[in-house]
Amino acid sequence: MATTQYDPDCIFCKILQGQIPSTSLFESDAFLVFLDINPANRGHALIVPKRHVETVFDLPEGYGEELIAIMRKVGKAIMKATGATGMNILQNNYADAGQAVPHVHWHLIPRFAGDGLLPWSTKTYADGDEMASLAGKIRSVL
Ligand code: AMP
Ligand code: ZN
C-alpha cells in the first residue's frame, strides 16, 4: 500500500509503520491488532485499520466483513487467554464521544464478574411522543 495512507502526526500511523513499538496480537493486509497500553482490563486490545481515517464514518466500504471476523477470532482468543467471562467491543467517534486518538479503532475489552467497569448511566424519554418523534426525525435523514 502507498505510504500516503498514513498521517505523519498520528500515533497509530506511527505504530502501523513500525516507527514506535506495539505489542501485536494479529495482523492482516488491512488491519493490525495490538494491546492497549493503558488497559481497562489486562488483555484490552485495539483493532486498527492500516489506513488513516478519523472515524467509522470516514472508513471506505469493504472493511466490515474482515473486521467482524477479526473481532470474533481475536476476541475469543483474548477471552480464552485471560479467562474473561465477558467482552465489550467499543468504538468511539470524535472527542465528545471519548475518542482520544483520531484514527478509527475498535476496543476489545475482556470483562470479569465484579471487575468494577460500570456501564454508562441511562436517560428516559418524556411521556408522549418524544421517542417516536425522534425516531421519525432519524429515519427522515437516513
Ligand atoms: P480512544 O479513547 O477510543 O481514542 O482510545 C485510544 C486508546 O489508545 C486508549 O485506550 C489508549 O490507552 C490507547 N493508546 C494510546 N497510545 C497507545 C500506544 N502507543 N500503544 C497502545 N495503545 C495506545
Ligand atoms: Zn493514523
* Average pLDDT along the chain: 96
- CB of 37 within 6 A of ligand 1: the answer is yes
The answer to whether residue 56 is domain-embedded is yes
34: confidence class by pLDDT, cuts 50, 70, 90: very high
4 is a domain residue: no
Please name which ligand lies nearest the alpha carbon of 103.
2
Domain extent for 121: 11-141
Q: How confident is the model at residue 119 (pLDDT cuts 50, 70, 90)?
A: confident
Q: How confident is the model at residue 85 (pLDDT cuts 50, 70, 90)?
A: very high
Counting ligand 1 atoms within 8 A of each CB, the residue from 34, 36, 41, 42 with the most, and so the one to mutate, is: 36
> Would you say residue 33 lies in a domain?
yes
| pLDDT(2) > 60 | no
In a domain, 44, yes or no: yes
Does residue 108 belong to any structural domain of this protein?
Answer: yes
pLDDT band, residue 120 (cuts 50/70/90): confident
One DSSP character per residue, the chain reads: --GGGS-TT-HHHHHHTTSS---EEEE-SSEEEEE-SS-SSTT-EEEEESS--SSGGGPPTT-HHHHHHHHHHHHHHHHHHHT-SEEEEE---SGGGT--SSS--EEEEEE-TT---PPPP---PPSSSHHHHHHHHHHHT-
User: Number of structural domains, the chain?
Assistant: 1
Q: Is residue 75 part of a domain?
A: yes
Tell me what the mean pLDDT of segment 88-108 comes to. Answer: 98
CATH number at residue 113: 3.30.428.10
Q: Kindly state whether residue 5 falls inside one of the protein's structural domains.
A: no
- Please tell me the residue having the least CA distance from ligand 1 atom 20: 37
- Do the domain assignments include residue 3? no
